[in-house]
Structure 1
Amino acid sequence: MAVKTVLRVENVSFRYEKENVLEDVTFAVPRGAFLGLVGPNGSGKSTLLKCILGLLKPQKGNIFLFDTPITSFKEWHRVGFVSQKANSFNTGFPATVYEVVASGLTAKLGLFRFLSPKDKQAVFDAIDAVGMSEFSRKNIGELSGGQQQRVFIARAIASRPELLILDEPTVGVDVHHVQNFYNMLEELNKGLGITFILVTHDVGTITEKVTHVACLNKHLYFHGGAGEFAQLQKSDLSHFYGHHLHVLSHQH
């Protein structure tokens, strides 16, 4: 029987010394969902990601990936992660787009394995999926921040993960290209069936692109469908965030 829930977070709490960062957080992400995780700075989003990725162990609660407790989960090739790399990438790094994307298969194949024709095709397919085919032989350092971030996403999807986590992926992306970037994520979610968790401050985008929303500020203040989130009053959002919130829409 196929796993219907990709991620389950159950009553998770985490603290750094005496500071509570997460308090009894519970939610689930169904297969094929596009979840937007929003919240103010210091709300615990980064800590929650580290717990989901197995980098931190909660003091309380449990996390399950594909119905397996994270403490015994071994199939990390099923999970992809893209950080805010484009904002701090070393532009002098001597590697082509193809080479960067191909490196995403290392964890799955092993460090010294040569790529088979099927593997090479998977690399080209990933590059094509993010609209970067014409740049495949370009040096990564010659690209804009937005193009680099597309390459990092291609690197993450080359091994065909079932869950892809994106931490503020539009950092370093030119504001004029942000909408196209989100359109690409939406197409990858629908076209490849990858389950997404998108961490963002861009609340306006949440209601237009994602299927589900989780609003975190130490506690989980909201978890539900994007349509339900869009119906919330500004006063509700301000309560979640702890300050007045101005919601911008990216629709044109």
Structure 2
Amino acid sequence: MNQPIVEIKHVDYTYERQKVLENINLTIEQGSFLGLVGPNGSGKTTLLKCLLGLLKPQQGEIKLFGQSIQKFKNWHEIGFVSQKANSFNTGFPASVFEVVSSGLTSRLGLFKFMKQQDRKRVYEAIDAVGLSEFTKRNIGELSGGQQQRAFIARAIVSDPKLLILDEPTVGVDAKTVQNFYDMLLNLNKELGITLILVTHDIGTISDKVSHVACINKHLHFHGNSKEFELLKDDEMSDFYGHSLHVLSHDHSH
């Protein structure tokens, strides 16, 4: 059994007297690729914020790399890609190289000059996400899917052991989404990065991820992808509180 990277024990989170997470117990082992699924408002993003130390659960404990989150200092070991760098100003005059190298500032400090090995690291990260031919291109000239790849490169350039992605394929077309998931699988297999992917796209990811966790306030299911595929539709609908076929392969929004 691999060493656990994330241990969540009996975690509760309440927003304004409304319980969003209740008694969540979840262990994520090194090298796994976890798909975190659940309906809108199910607490997935809240759980991510707790993992990233942005929110403090009212109950329970979280450990990262075997260390209590309160004592954890090595945040460069965790990369995060939010729900589309949609919020990113695409008119911003920065090349792909510059955007990706900005992922090193936590390690280098803001005004330190990049050494040769830092530049090499940036090129490797760009190559890992398949954007080598766009290195000098302005980020605003890329498609939505390519921009997301650039943001993943920025997240992996500091060599994280864990990469968390919050619905990174929102607004990306279906064909690109498949390539995108293949790229994530490659990061997981070739670079050994542990991945947590929040997604609505159950149908598409079940053959890519190693494990699936279903959250809807409670943790309803956690197991490997084979066990997940054996779940019956009515069991899944129970988790979600409504019929599930709505969620599969819907790339229209």
TM-score if structure 2 supplies the norm length?
A: 0.96
2:22 is paired with a residue whose SS is strand
Q: How many residues align?
A: 249
Does the aligned pair in 1 maintain the 2:37–2:213 contact within 8 Å? yes
Offset at 1:118? 0.5
Partner of 1:231: 230
Q: Structure 2: which amino acid aligns with 1:53?
A: L
Does the aligned pair in 1 maintain the 2:84–2:167 contact within 8 Å? no
1:71 is paired with a residue whose SS is coil
* Higher mean C-alpha deviation, range 60-69 or range 165-174: 165-174
Partner of 2:52: 53
Q: Structure 1: which amino acid aligns with 2:92?
A: F
Deviations 1:85-126 (A, max 9, x none): 333331210100000000000001111211111110000000
Partner of 2:77: 78
Displaced runs of 4 or more, over 4 A: none
Q: Does 1:193 align with 2:192?
A: yes
Partner of 2:111: 112
Q: Does 1:65 align with 2:92?
A: no
Does the aligned pair in 2 maintain the 1:12–1:25 contact within 8 Å? yes
Q: Whole-Å Cα distance in 1 between the matches of residues 7 and 241 of structure 2?
A: 26
Partner of 2:99: 100
Offset at 1:248? 3.7
**1:2-41 mapped onto 2 (5 Å cutoff):** 4-41=3-40
* Higher mean C-alpha deviation, range 239-248 or range 14-23: 239-248
Partner of 1:131: 130
Q: Whole-Å Cα distance in 2 between the matches of residues 8 and 127 of structure 1?
A: 31
Q: Structure 2: which amino acid aligns with 1:197?
A: I
Offset at 1:207? 1.4
Offset at 1:171? 1.2
Partner of 1:147: 146
Does the aligned pair in 2 maintain the 1:87–1:172 contact within 8 Å? no
Does the aligned pair in 2 maintain the 1:36–1:213 contact within 8 Å? yes
Q: Does 1:241 align with 2:220?
A: no
Identity of aligned residues (%): 64
Deviations 1:141-197 (A, max 9, x none): 000100000000000000110000000010131222110110000011000000000
Offset at 1:249? 6.4
2:206 is paired with a residue whose SS is helix
Q: Structure 2: which amino acid aligns with 1:226?
A: S
* Higher mean C-alpha deviation, range 146-155 or range 165-174: 165-174
Q: Which runs of 5+ in 1 are unaligned?
A: none
Partner of 1:213: 212
Q: Structure 1: which amino acid aligns with 2:217?
A: K
Q: Structure 1: which amino acid aligns with 2:234?
A: S
Q: Whole-Å Cα distance in 2 between the matches of residues 130 and 177 of structure 1?
A: 13
Does the aligned pair in 1 maintain the 2:84–2:169 contact within 8 Å? no
Offset at 1:48? 0.3
Change (3 A) 1:49 1:169: same
Q: Whole-Å Cα distance in 1 between the matches of residues 51 and 248 of structure 2?
A: 29
Q: Whole-Å Cα distance in 1 between the matches of residues 174 and 211 of structure 2?
A: 24
* Higher mean C-alpha deviation, range 55-64 or range 197-206: 197-206
Q: Structure 1: which amino acid aligns with 2:73?
A: K
Q: Whole-Å Cα distance in 1 between the matches of residues 228 and 92 of structure 2?
A: 42
1:232 is paired with a residue whose SS is coil
TM-score if structure 1 supplies the norm length?
A: 0.96
Q: Whole-Å Cα distance in 1 between the matches of residues 165 and 135 of structure 2?
A: 22
* Higher mean C-alpha deviation, range 88-97 or range 138-147: 88-97
Partner of 2:120: 121
Offset at 1:226? 0.6
1:55 is paired with a residue whose SS is coil
